[in-house]
Amino acid sequence: MTAIRADGLYKCYERRNWRGRVVESVEAVRGISFEVQPGEMAAFLGANGAGKSTTLRLLSGVLTPTRGEASICGHRSGTPEAAMRFGFVSGNRSLLWSHMTVRQSLEIIGAIYGLRAAERRERIAALARELDLEGFLGRRGGTLSLGERMRCEMAAAVLHRPAVLLADEPTLGLDIPTRWALRELLRGWTRASGITLLLTSHDAGDIESLCERTLLIAQGQLVFDGPTATLESQAGSLEESLARHMGERR
Amino acid sequence: MRRFAATGGVRRVRAVLLLARFEFVELVRYPAPILMRCLTLPVYVVALTALWNGLHKRAGDGAGGGFPALAYFLFTQTILDSCLNRFGIGSLVLGFEPALSRPLSWWAQGVAQGFGRTAGQLLVVGGLVQVFLALTGAAYQPAMVLRWLLVLPLLALADALATEVMAGLYIRVGKSDSLRFVVTKSLLALGGGLYPLLGDGRGGIGWMRYLPFSDFVFQPAYFCLYGHAYGMATGLWLARVACWMALLALAAHASFRLAWRGLQVAGG
């Protein structure tokens, strides 16, 4: 079964006046189709405003497509069945409750996904060891540094052992050592668990070290879908190749 | 295919209860922010009580005309201070998008969060009020504690639903502070905080007691003092509260739909 499937995804945002008439419309995603197989690690790249985050929000069920369909492990996005099968981590939005301790946030998230108390405690302890969170579990989400918070976000996203991990710029704003550590963590963890990864990032290093496949989006349309190595070979480096592709389509 | 320990309704109920419990526990364990916000409460209460007692002395009724003004103002101010907490609204707004990608509705998460937080606040501040009344002996009866605990869940649930309405509107229109201002000031003006000053303490409030604001401020405070509702059977008051709650729940759901539709159309 396909882990992630986008079939003719189309999303149009509209601004309406007080009469309800559309005064402005923006096509954020224009008929994107792709599939990601179980265990695959794919990068989803594009310039700012290209439609990456909108596509991830469509896949996660936060947004509903204007046309087309998205599914996770064969279940239509936006349904509880699909929600049970993926984890979402974002550099922009926190999954944790800022006024609660990390442990409390993880406990609540575990309960939302139907884990029993003993199972929750066991998984939180295991993730705390794997992601080196032991020192943060008793701290409130709002008091963590960005690097600490991102590790906790990762734990929150994978606590229910999802089949798919959607990661929207997880290394955004991190300093070089923290970014490197988080990347290593993500690589080790995803390979060990066999999880399917769809990652958006503006950092070529993230893609080089994590993803063997790259999907490139420009102006809401898919313009490249192939091995990351092919993109790399098109120019001196992946970064240069991406800059060329994105620059051409602006 | 992955298996999960609990399914559907059971899973949702467990998650909602845990969320409410943690909100409640956090507030009770660390009440400093709430207590800081309540620092001005004694000023209002002392001023209003002095005003009430002064009015009655001038009218030759003796001190306060027999109405336990201090206890009444303490209860009503505690209720008013717990209404539509700005932090609560902000927390629900921030949690909107993450909630949409989880298998539990934002609506349920919001009600659980709001209920836990408001119940915690009413317990902490209400508990201090009871201790204060017991120490000063001002119209204190041990039954007041029990009565306060009886009305606490109703007040917490009503506030949770109202907070959800505000949060939904905030997400949809970008700001709901003006509306929050109107609602909190309506509660202050029409909810009954000042009713004793308008009449003799038990009368003179006329039609205002039939407003929904009165059912959530004046009547609970009156119930704590006397053990029954003012001017109507206690059962009728509770039935009215149940009706307002049902309307609030519908409004909260409509507000969620509005916020959701706004996100779909404008992208947030």
Three-class secondary structure of residue B184 per DSSP = helix
Residue contact B267–A160, C-beta within 8 A: no
Nearest CA-CA distance, residue A232 and chain B, Å: 33
The count of structural domains within chain A is 1
The answer to whether position A244 is within a domain reads: yes
> What's the rounded Cα separation, in Å, for the pair B176 and B170?
5
The pair of structure tokens assigned to A237 is: 């480096």
**Residue A157 near residue A88, CB atoms below 8 Å:** yes
Of B26, B98, B263, the CB nearest to A99: B26
pLDDT score recorded for residue A245? 74
Range of the domain at A64: 1-76+164-170+195-250
Residues of chain A below pLDDT 50: none
Let me know if B56 is exposed, middle or buried by CB neighbors in 10 A (0-12, 13-18, 19+).
Answer: buried
Chain B partners within 8 Å of A119 (Cβ): 5
Residue contact B5–A163, C-beta within 8 A: no
- Contact status of B266 with chain A (Cβ, < 8 Å): yes
Let me know if A21 is exposed, middle or buried by CB neighbors in 10 A (0-12, 13-18, 19+).
Answer: exposed
The pair of structure tokens assigned to A222 is: 């898919």
> What ipTM was assigned to the predicted interfaces of this complex?
0.86
Here the CATH number for the domain that contains residue A235 is 3.40.50.300
B134 DSSP assignment: H
pLDDT score recorded for residue B201? 45
The answer to whether position A234 is within a domain reads: yes
Of B2, B104, B264, the CB nearest to A163: B2
The answer for B201, left when phi > 0, alpha when psi is -120 to 50, beta otherwise, is left
Q: Could you give phi then psi for residue B34, rounded to 5 degrees?
A: -65, -45
pLDDT score recorded for residue B123? 94
Chain B partners within 8 Å of A111 (Cβ): 11, 14-15, 18-19
Beta carbons within 10 angstroms of residue B65's beta carbon: 18
Let me know if B211 is exposed, middle or buried by CB neighbors in 10 A (0-12, 13-18, 19+).
Answer: middle
Of B97, B109, B266, the CB nearest to A93: B97
Torsion A223-A225-A228-A231 (CA) sign:
negative
* Domain ranges across chain B: 2-265
Q: In Å, how far are A55, A87, B151 from A198, measured between CA atoms?
A: 11, 11, 50
Q: Please list the pLDDT of chain B residue by residue as tens digits (268 residues).
A: 333 444 578 888 899 999 999 999 998 888 888 888 777 788 878 888 888 777 777 666 555 556 788 888 889 889 988 888 888 898 899 999 999 999 999 989 999 999 999 999 999 999 988 888 888 776 778 888 899 999 999 999 999 999 999 999 888 887 667 777 888 888 777 767 666 665 554 455 567 778 888 899 889 999 998 999 988 899 999 999 999 999 999 999 999 999 999 899 887 6
pLDDT score recorded for residue B5? 44
Chain B residues 194-213 within an 8 A CB cutoff of chain A: none
Chain B partners within 8 Å of A161 (Cβ): 2
The pTM of the full predicted model, rounded to 2 decimals, is: 0.86
Residue contact A62–B4, C-beta within 8 A: no
Residues 6+ apart with CB under 8 A from B97: A57, A62, A93, B263, B268
Residues 6+ apart with CB under 8 A from B47: none
pLDDT score recorded for residue B132? 85
Residue contact A119–B264, C-beta within 8 A: no
Nearest CA-CA distance, residue A231 and chain B, Å: 31
